[in-house]
């Protein structure tokens, strides 16, 4: 069984930083694109950033210049470094990954989410 487990969320003051991690485990043959999404109360889930296996990145305009996505392919892990955090960044952050399990086709998997709260 493949699962994604996030960590690193919490409460931070405006202007502060947090680093989220998301590790994939299970019977994995290969991981393709990985990404982070977020969902604030009363709003739809939105894209934050994605990264390909080769390291190409894509960011939402709202986080460009403040957030950095990276990955460690050897550890099947994706990271999100969040700097200069704003109250409007408050949300549950979810990681996802397009994974080819051993002996099966590519499927998109989601983590359980981690809460990020930016408040003074």
In whole angstroms, what is the distance from residue 69 CA to residue 48 CA? 9
C-alpha span between 53 and 34 (Å, rounded): 8
Q: Residue 119 CA to chain centroid, in angstroms? A: 21
Per-residue pLDDT of the chain (120 residues; tens, 9 = 90+): 899 999 999 999 999 999 999 999 999 999 999 999 999 999 999 999 999 999 999 999 999 999 999 999 999 999 999 999 999 999 999 999 999 988 888 999 999 999 999 999
- Residue 73 per-residue DSSP state: G
Task: Single out the residue of 110, 18, 38 nearest to residue 9, CA to CA.
Answer: 18
């Amino acid at each position: 069984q493949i699962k994604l487990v996030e960590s690193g969320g919490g409460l931070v003051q405006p202007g502060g930083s947090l680093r989220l991690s998301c590790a994939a485990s299970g019977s994995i043959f290969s991981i393709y694109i990985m990404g982070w999404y977020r969902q604030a109360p009363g709003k739809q889930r939105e894209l934050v950033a994605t990264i390909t296996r080769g390291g190409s990145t894509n960011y939402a305009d709202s986080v460009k210049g403040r957030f950095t996505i990276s990955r460690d392919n050897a550890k099947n892990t994706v990271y999100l470094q969040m700097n200069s955090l704003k109250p409007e960044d408050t949300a549950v952050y979810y990681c996802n990954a397009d994974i080819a399990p051993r002996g099966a086709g590519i499927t998109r998997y989601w983590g359980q989410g981690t809460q990020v709260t930016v408040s003074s």
